[in-house]
Amino acid sequence: MDLLWLGLSEAIALLLRADREVLAIAALSLRVSVGATILAAIVGIPVGVVLATRQFRGRALLDAVVNTGMGLPPVVVGLVVTVFLWRTGPLGALALLYTPEAMAVAQTIVAAPIVAGVTRGALELIDRHIAEALRADGAGGIDLGRELVFAALPQVMLAIAAGFGRAISEVGASLMVGGNLAGQTRVLTTAIALDTSRGDFARAIALGIILLALAFAVNVLLAWRARAAAWW
């Protein structure tokens, strides 16, 4: 317990003096995870809409892929992305391995199924008469999907928030494809793991506080955005 309080007090001191390296790690983590969340939303929301509103050949397979992806082991994602980006791999010529971009790709892969699954669940809870009324008014395809997403906007924002939480908390895949290089690919989760293994608990706690604060701030922002959109 003494170690915990000592670590916490040292962490607060570290935050108050605005350690440059700690802030750089936090900034990179936020940049990578926000980028991955945007990509996950671009992919996941349309997939969720399609699964909730359409019947088509292969729907059961896509549904199973999304369900499986929601619990996809990060180390498997890291392995696959590493193989593809390895210098002799299919995308090796892009030289993306051990870069923030590779980490964003890995985080997108683990976050997109969550966004898709939560979006699907949110739209399936909407009264079916609403969808029927929209179709009767001539809405279909993209227009129908957009209207249903707007009708369930708070829940869709929750899907995005869940995707962001999955992305920014990811450590296994990020470590494998990023390498945890100081000043280049070291983000909050990989830095916490490294500092804990070194016994530097004060720094690890400080980074953990920042991680929680960033997740909280993004969730507050998304909730505010959902309320603002619903009001208008």
CA 22/CA 16 separation, integer angstroms: 11
The architecture (CATH level 2) of 2-231 comes to Orthogonal Bundle (1.10)
Q: Would you put residue 139 in left (φ > 0), alpha (ψ -120 to 50) or beta?
A: beta
**Angle, CA of 225, 228 and 232, to the nearest 5°:** 140
User: What angle do the packed helices 20-53 and 142-151 form, to 10 degrees?
Assistant: 120
Q: Are residues 36 and 111 in contact, defined by beta-carbon separation less than 8 angstroms?
A: yes
Question: Three-class SS string for 63-118?
Answer: HHHHHHHCCCCHHHHHHHHHHHHCCCCCCHHHCCCCCHHHHHHHHHHHHHHHHHHH
pLDDT tens string for the chain (232 positions)?
666 777 777 777 877 887 788 889 999 999 999 999 999 999 999 999 999 888 889 899 999 999 999 988 999 999 999 999 999 999 999 999 999 999 999 999 999 999 999 999 998 887 676 666 666 565 566 777 777 888 888 889 989 999 999 999 999 999 999 999 998 999 999 999 999 999 888 888 888 888 988 889 888 888 787 776 555 5
- What are the residue boundaries of the structural domains of the chain, listed by start? 2-231
Q: In one letter, which amino acid is 126? A: I
| Residue in 130, 84, 144, 86 with CA at minimum distance from that of residue 109 | 84
Tens of pLDDT, residue by residue over 130-153, are 666 666 565 566 777 777 888 888
CA 75/CA 222 separation, integer angstroms: 29
Quick one: tokens of 91? 């995308």
C-alpha 144: how far from its chain's center?
26
- Classify burial at 109, counting beta carbons within 10 Å of its beta carbon; exposed 0-12, middle 13-18, buried 19 or more: buried
The per-residue pLDDT for 38 is: 96
